[in-house]
Amino acid sequence: MQILDRDHYECQDCRKRIKDAAASGTQLIGRDRKIWRAEEVHHIQELKEHPELGLDDDNLVSLCTQCHNLRHGRAPKRFARKKKLPSEERW
């Protein structure tokens, strides 16, 4: 909670993306134009490799879920359309 408070619940990757785009004169579109609410705290130096930095504030950063997934190489979640079960179909 301290890290989220420190970062004002703003995703630091989103903030950096917007700052870098402004500096380079690049126009962002869609989702990339907004700083999303941070809901997760990420270890900059991976915890497995550097357990001594596990609770070091300088090694923690607030991220939104999508940026956190991107940092870990996970694909964004997509919502699958639910299929009706045979018992739900009308006859």
| Domains in the chain: boundaries | 2-76
Residue 26: both structure tokens together: 């690049």
Q: What angle do CA 48, 51, 52 make, to 5 degrees?
A: 160
pTM value is: 0.75
User: Are 21 and 47 in contact, with CB atoms under 8 Å apart?
Assistant: no
Q: Burial, 78: exposed, middle or buried (Cβ in 10 Å; 0-12, 13-18, 19+)?
A: exposed
Would you state the pLDDT for residue 74?
Answer: 87
Nearest to 70 by CA among 40, 49, 90, 47: 40
Q: For the chain, give percent helix, strand, coil, nearest 5.
A: 40, 10, 45
Tell me the per-residue pLDDT of 21-60, one tens digit each, with 9 for 90 and over: 999 999 999 989 999 999 999 999 998 999 999 889 999 9
